[in-house]
C-alpha cells in the first residue's frame, strides 16, 4: 500500500509540474527536482522504469560549429608549369592570390547523426598564373554537403557531396596538409565538371559506408557515387578502401597529412575506384611518430595503377579519356618540436603507357612521352599555432618530355610559393 501511495503521489507531482511548466521561467530546476524524486522512489518502484523515465527527461540538444580556412600566397612560376609546356616557356609570372577561402559549418543533429557543409572559391582571387589574368571577385560554391548517421562503431553512412578517393592523400583535409598543396596526380580525372569523372575538386555525390573493426585497428570505406553521367543511365561509380593501423587508430573522416608530434601512426591501406571499364587500384603507406628527441617524422607514400579501358563503342567509355598509367607519390618531412619548423620533400611521377584505343593514334610512343610528367620539390613550414596558423615556403618543379628536332628532351618548370594559413573550426 505504501508503495502504491508513493507512486501515485509522484505521478501527481509530475503532472502538476507539466501543467505549470509553461508559466515557469526556471524549467531546468523543475526537471532536476523531478529527476531527484524519481531516484528517491527507485527503492519502491522497479529500478529500470526509474532509469528509463530519467533518460527521457534528459533531452538531447543539437549543436552547431562554424569555422573557416583561408590560404593566401605570394607566388612566382614559369609559364610552362601549369601544363602548357613548350621549349620557349621560360618567363616567370608572379602575383598574390587568395587560393582557398572556405566557410565550414557542422553540427550534431542527434546523438547518432551529424552534418557538414563547406564552401570554396571555384578559382583563386588575384592573379591566375596559368593565363596571366586577374580575378577581383569570385562567387563561392558549395564544396561539401554531407549527412552522417552512426548506426554503430562498425557501420556508419555518409550521404551527399564528399571527397572521393581510394588514396589517403585524396582524403586529407586541406588544413592538415604537410606540403603546400595536394598531390598533382591525386585525382587528375575528378577535379572539374568537364573532367572524365565529372567531379567537383575531388568531390562526388553519393553514399559512403564506413566502419571500424578489430579494436578500431581496421577501417573500411565502400561507397557508390554518380561519377560520369550524361543522360541518367550511367553505371554507378564504386569506390572502396581498407586501412589497417598497426599503432594508434585513426577515426577522423578526413585524414591528417602530418600530426606535428602528436601522432603514433603506422597505417597501410589498399583501395579501388571504378566506373564502367575505368578502374584505379592502389596502395598507400602513412607513418607519423616520434623519431629521436628533437621531434617527429612523417612519411606518406602511394602507388596507383589506372586505365580507362579499350572499349570505344560505349557511350560511357573512358578509353579516349583516361590512358593506362601508373602514379608514384612520396612525401617525407620532419617536425622539430622546439623550433616549430618542418622541412619536407616531395616527389610524384605519372608514367603513361597507353593502348592504341586510348591514345587515339598509332603514335602511342609519342603520346606517352608527351603526356607523362613528374613533380618534385620541397619546402619549410613554420607553425605559429599548429594547423590553426602557419607559414609555408616551397619550391616545386614539374618536368615534361619536350619535343625537339632530334626527339625528346626533359624540361623542368619551377614554382615558388609563400603561403599563410589560418584555420578555425
Beta bridge partners of 206: 160, 225
CA distances from 9 to 2, 37, 49, 248, 375 (A): 11, 10, 16, 53, 78
pLDDT digits 0-9 by tens, 402-416: 776 677 788 899 999
Domain range enclosing 17: 2-57
pLDDT recorded at residue 184: 76
Please tell me whether residues 270 and 300 are part of one structural domain: yes
Strands (E), 228-264: 237-245
CA distances from 22 to 16, 25, 27, 407 (A): 11, 8, 9, 86
Same domain, 14 and 160: no
Examine the domain organization and report whether 233 and 377 are in the same domain. yes
Residues 40 and 116 in one domain: no
pLDDT the model gives residue 177: 94
As a 3-state breakdown, the chain gives helix, strand, coil percent values, each rounded to 5, of 15, 50, 35
Task: Give the chain's mean pLDDT.
Answer: 86
Which range has the worst mean pLDDT, 85-89, 197-201, 251-255, 421-425? 85-89
pLDDT of 296 reads 97
Tell whether the model's pLDDT for residue 87 goes beyond 80. no
Q: Which has the minimum average pLDDT: 3-12, 222-231, 313-322?
A: 3-12
Distance between CA 344 and CA 183 in Å, rounded? Answer: 14
Q: Are residues 259 and 154 in the same domain?
A: yes
Domain finish residue from 22, 40, 57: 57
| Residue 130, pLDDT score | 66
Beta bridge partners of 65: 106
The two beta strands, 265-275 and 237-245, are: antiparallel
Same domain? 418 vs 325: yes
- Phi-psi region at 176: left, alpha or beta (left = phi > 0; alpha = psi -120 to 50): alpha
Average pLDDT value for residue range 40-69:
67
H helices present in 258-377, as ranges: 356-359, 364-371
Q: Under 8 Å CB-to-CB from 383, ≥6 apart: which residues? A: 260, 340, 342, 389, 390
Helix axes 47-57, 27-41, angle to 10 degrees: 170
Task: Give the confidence band of 396 by pLDDT, cuts at 50, 70, 90.
Answer: very high
Tell me the pLDDT tens digit for each residue of 305-342. Answer: 999 999 888 888 899 899 999 999 999 999 999 999 99
- Estimate the crossing angle of helix 2-20 against helix 27-41, to 10 degrees: 170
Is residue 401 over pLDDT 50?
Answer: yes
User: 61 versus 85: which is more confidently predicted?
Assistant: 61
Q: Is 406 helix (H, G, I), strand (E, B) or coil?
A: coil
Torsions phi, psi of 52, nearest 5? Answer: -60, -45
Three state DSSP letters for 114-140:
EEEEEEECCCCEEECCCCCCEECCCCC
CATH number at residue 320: 2.40.160.10
Length of the chain: 425
> Is residue 332 domain-shared with residue 386, that is, in the same domain?
yes
Burial 278-288 (b: 16+ CB within 10 A, else e): bbbebbbebbb
Show which of 38, 57, 76 is a domain's final residue: 57
pLDDT, residue 159, reads 98
Q: What is the structure's pLDDT at 12?
A: 42
Do 214 and 321 fall within a single domain? yes
Which element (helix H / strand E) includes 399?
strand 389-404
DSSP strand E in 79-112: where?
92-108
Domain shared by 6 and 144, yes or no: no
Confidence of residue 67 (pLDDT cuts 50, 70, 90): very high
Quick check: 263 and 295 in contact, CB under 8 A? no
Cβ distance 419 to 391 under 8 Å?
yes
pLDDT above 90 covers a percentage of the chain that reads: 64
| Residue where one domain finishes, among candidates 57, 76, 102 | 57
Mapped onto helix, strand or coil, the DSSP state of residue 176 is helix
Q: Tell me if residue 189 falls in helix, strand or coil.
A: coil
Q: What 3-state class would DSSP assign to 364?
A: helix
Domain match, 24 and 132 both: no
Confidence class of residue 185 from pLDDT cuts 50, 70 and 90? confident
Indicate the pTM of the whole model: 0.83
Do residue 86 and residue 12 come from a single domain?
Answer: no
CA-nearest of 383, 283, 374 to 333 is 383
Domain count, the chain: 2
Residues 262 and 347 in one domain: yes
Amino acid at each position: 500500500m505504501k508503495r502504491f501511495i508513493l507512486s501515485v503521489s509522484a505521478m501527481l507531482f509530475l503532472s502538476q509540474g507539466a501543467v505549470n511548466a509553461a508559466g515557469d521561467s526556471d524549467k531546468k530546476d523543475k526537471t532536476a527536482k523531478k529527476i531527484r524524486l524519481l531516484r528517491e522512489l527507485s527503492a519502491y518502484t522497479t529500478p529500470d522504469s526509474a532509469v528509463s523515465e530519467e533518460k527521457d527527461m534528459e533531452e538531447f540538444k543539437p549543436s552547431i560549429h562554424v569555422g573557416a580556412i583561408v590560404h593566401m600566397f605570394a607566388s612566382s612560376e614559369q609559364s610552362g608549369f601549369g601544363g602548357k609546356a613548350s621549349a620557349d616557356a621560360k618567363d616567370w609570372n608572379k602575383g598574390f592570390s587568395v587560393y582557398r577561402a572556405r566557410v565550414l559549418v557542422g553540427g550534431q543533429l542527434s546523438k547518432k547523426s551529424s552534418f557538414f557543409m563547406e564552401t570554396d572559391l571555384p578559382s583563386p582571387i588575384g592573379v591566375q598564373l596559368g593565363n596571366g589574368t586577374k580575378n577581383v571577385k569570385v562567387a563561392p560554391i558549395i564544396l561539401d554537403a554531407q549527412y552522417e548517421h552512426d548506426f554503430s562503431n562498425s557501420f556508419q553512412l555518409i550521404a551527399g557531396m564528399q571527397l572521393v578517393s581510394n588514396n589517403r592523400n585524396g582524403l586529407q583535409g586541406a588544413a592538415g596538409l604537410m606540403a603546400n598543396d595536394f598531390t598533382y596526380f591525386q585525382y587528375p580525372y575528378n577535379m572539374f565538371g568537364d573532367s572524365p569523372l565529372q567531379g567537383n575538386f575531388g568531390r562526388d555525390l553519393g553514399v559512403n559506408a564506413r566502419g571500424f573493426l578489430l579494436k578500431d585497428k581496421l577501417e573500411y570505406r565502400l561507397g557508390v557515387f554518380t561519377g560520369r553521367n550524361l543522360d541518367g543511365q550511367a553505371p554507378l561509380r564504386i569506390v572502396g578502401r581498407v586501412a589497417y593501423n598497426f599503432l594508434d587508430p585513426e577515426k577522423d573522416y578526413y585524414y591528417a597529412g602530418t600530426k606535428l608530434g602528436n601522432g603514433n601512426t603506422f597505417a597501410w591501406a589498399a583501395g579501388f575506384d571504378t566506373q564502367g571499364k575505368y578502374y584505379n587500384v592502389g596502395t598507400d603507406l602513412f607513418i607519423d611518430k616520434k623519431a629521436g628527441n628533437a621531434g617527429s617524422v612523417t612519411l606518406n607514400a602511394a602507388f596507383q595503377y589506372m586505365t580507362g579501358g579499350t572499349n570505344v563503342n560505349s557511350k560511357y567509355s573512358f578509353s579516349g579519356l583516361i590512358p593506362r598509367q601508373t602514379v608514384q607519390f612520396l612525401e617525407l618531412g620532419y617536425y622539430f618540436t622546439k623550433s616549430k619548423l618542418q622541412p619536407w620533400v616531395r616527389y610524384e611521377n605519372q608514367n603513361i603507357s597507353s593502348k592504341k584505343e586510348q591514345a587515339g593514334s598509332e603514335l602511342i610512343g609519342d603520346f606517352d612521352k608527351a603526356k607523362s610528367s613528374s613533380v618534385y620539390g620541397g619546402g619549410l613550414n613554420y607553425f605559429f599555432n599548429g594547423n590553426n596558423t602557419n607559414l609555408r615556403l616551397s619550391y616545386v618543379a614539374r618536368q615534361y618530355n619536350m619535343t625537339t628536332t632530334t626527339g625528346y628532351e626533359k624540361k623542368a618548370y619551377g614554382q615558388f610559393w609563400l603561403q599563410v594559413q589560418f584555420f578555425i573550426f
